[in-house]
Structure 1
């Protein structure tokens, strides 16, 4: 089983309408709205990459993974059924809502809904960013998603052994006996990553990648002007060399905007980093953690 990459993310938000301003003014994204009030954010020629559904609270609704071709979708379906995963077919209404040719969905071991699709709708094939430098690198999908899970070993086993992702890197964190695992399904350093917090599950952040460091800097300034709180200030990761910042955005989740992410190749071997040692760091520079930001609202107690 092989997936092309992260395709789209859907969240419920009490502040979905605020993206009509934050999307273009801060991140340079195009904004659209469906007849039922879903705010959609466009980053490239796809019809949308983020869908913000209005609702009474903030929560992750679904994550869409691009299978690429119809035969790959069929193979993924057969593979997951053989692995004992309960698969649900997308009916005509769901396919229309997601603007895809075909899809099925399932829930992971922690209840997060994942949709595997093929044939996402293309717009007018021209992305109209709101700044001259606004252009996103989506060659290997939307970017990556990082999840909080209650059981790290169970998460890694599912995504590695069932979903077929490969382990890129592992970090031992300063919190005793805590690690982060980074896995990929294409050349991106990671398409998904996991960290464990007992009793909690949800979306820590989504990363999207600009083709311009200038754009990252302009968006960082715009985020500050708009009053968005930073979870991590501007900095550069050591592992994948991404220069980025992490902003807490409307809806209680975190968006990382980065540039310069390192790609993997066939010769890549899994690396292990121990940043729990005195003086060790996972950052080349910056990325100061802002504790006052607090936990993301879309990270919730298991079962809620």
Structure 2
């Protein structure tokens, strides 16, 4: 029994044309026209990984989380209902729109719609990217990861950990709570920022080649205000990435080289070196609004020689380095 991957993300937005250019042209996804009120995108052999519904709001509509067995849906539904969360099974028409055999729907404590899905459909035709890229790192790792702003992390953290079996990868407590969770070998598929706000912070897609990211970065720099974070590398999952401003105002992380872990041996730990080894300058922030503080953290990490291990995809090596204190 397990939730084992982020299957898809749905967005509410009435900017379908902008999303078509952004997801197809910059992100390299394959556009699929569903109707005049919905736009979908493929990243691999799945029927859809991202869909945009023509509704006002410019925010997250839902996240779909894959389960291993159909019986897992009833197990989680019963657990959630026992904890006081209203759950319902999707209608046949709703399942068809999600291209899944079965779907269970519910809201988390902050009102974010979550969906547990079983047996997502595979497309009969090959994936054709929207721009020349090597492809995306999906498969057993899922679509990527998603991050939420939360008002009360002390409520949200146990909801996902205890009710949905999301496993803590690492966390930070200052200047606010920040929790990262894994559901497979990807370092994290979900995270929450205890910013006191509410809504979608970003989602991440991982490319198969660093040059896919670099060429996307060049594309993004051609448009004013498209880049939100400059190119950089994260301290916890070792992802080399940049963040783009989406048409709906939240961010999309374009990454490569993310950390692969062994969930059987992984132990959560508190992070204190800041979010990035280098780069990731927050262009949307003012100096007083946090940009300088984050830059100072990177400079401090560099002065102390804090870097990622030379091998970025070996779970055994990571566990050994963790045990030895490196």
Q: Confirm or deny a common fold (TM above 0.5).
A: yes
Instruction: Give the drift of 1:271.
Output: 1.5
Tell me if the contact between 1:7 and 1:142 (Cα under 8 Å) persists in the aligned partners.
yes
Q: Is 1:253 the counterpart of 2:250 in the alignment?
A: yes
Using the alignment, how far apart are the partners of 1:82 and 1:104 within structure 2?
Answer: 15
Tell me if the contact between 1:238 and 1:284 (Cα under 8 Å) persists in the aligned partners.
yes
After TM superposition, the runs of 4+ consecutive aligned structure 1 residues lying more than 6 A away are none
Q: Is 1:152 the counterpart of 2:153 in the alignment?
A: yes
Work out which of the residue numbers 174, 182, 197 in structure 1 matches 2:180: 182
| Secondary structure at the counterpart of residue 169 of structure 1 | strand
Tell me if the contact between 2:239 and 2:255 (Cα under 8 Å) persists in the aligned partners.
yes
Using the alignment, how far apart are the partners of 1:88 and 1:68 within structure 2?
Answer: 19
After superposition, give the CA deviation of every residue in 1:133-174 in whole Å (9 maximum; x if it has no partner): 33001121111111101001111111111111111111244x
After superposition, give the CA deviation of every residue in 1:221-271 in whole Å (9 maximum; x if it has no partner): 112224452221110011111001110111222110101101111221112
Q: TM-score when scaled to structure 1? A: 0.88
Q: Is 1:119 the counterpart of 2:119 in the alignment?
A: yes
Using the alignment, how far apart are the partners of 2:195 and 2:186 within structure 1?
Answer: 25
Instruction: Give the drift of 1:77.
Output: 2.5
Q: 1:166 to 1:82 in 2, by over 3 A?
A: same
Using the alignment, how far apart are the partners of 1:107 and 1:158 within structure 2?
Answer: 11
Using the alignment, how far apart are the partners of 1:197 and 1:238 within structure 2?
Answer: 20
Structure 1, 21-30 or 202-211: larger mean CA deviation: 21-30
Instruction: Give the drift of 1:89.
Output: 1.1
| Secondary structure at the counterpart of residue 241 of structure 2 | strand
Using the alignment, how far apart are the partners of 1:138 and 1:130 within structure 2?
Answer: 17
> Which residue does 2:207 correspond to in 1?
210
Tell me if the contact between 1:46 and 1:123 (Cα under 8 Å) persists in the aligned partners.
yes
Using the alignment, how far apart are the partners of 2:276 and 2:66 within structure 1?
Answer: 31
Consecutive unaligned residues of structure 1, counting only runs of 5 or more, are 276-280, 296-304
Tell me if the contact between 2:31 and 2:130 (Cα under 8 Å) persists in the aligned partners.
no
| Secondary structure at the counterpart of residue 93 of structure 2 | helix
Instruction: Give the drift of 1:273.
Output: 1.5
Structural RMSD (CA) = 1.9
Tell me if the contact between 2:26 and 2:131 (Cα under 8 Å) persists in the aligned partners.
no
After superposition, give the CA deviation of every residue in 1:80-118 in whole Å (9 maximum; x if it has no partner): 334332211101221122121111101101111101111
Instruction: Give the drift of 1:187.
Output: 1.1
Work out which of the residue numbers 276, 286, 290 in structure 1 matches 2:283: 290
Tell me if the contact between 2:28 and 2:132 (Cα under 8 Å) persists in the aligned partners.
no
Instruction: Give the drift of 1:36.
Output: 4.0
Instruction: Give the drift of 1:289.
Output: 1.0
Q: TM-score when scaled to structure 2? A: 0.82
Rg larger for: 2
Tell me if the contact between 1:16 and 1:251 (Cα under 8 Å) persists in the aligned partners.
no
After superposition, give the CA deviation of every residue in 1:176-203 in whole Å (9 maximum; x if it has no partner): xx121111111111111111123x2111
Higher strand share: 1
> Which residue does 1:16 correspond to in 2?
16
> Which residue does 2:129 correspond to in 1?
129
Structure scoring higher RCO (CA < 8 A, sep ≥ 6) equals 1
> Which residue does 1:76 correspond to in 2?
76
Using the alignment, how far apart are the partners of 1:227 and 1:123 within structure 2?
Answer: 36
Using the alignment, how far apart are the partners of 1:260 and 1:287 within structure 2?
Answer: 16
Tell me if the contact between 2:13 and 2:57 (Cα under 8 Å) persists in the aligned partners.
yes
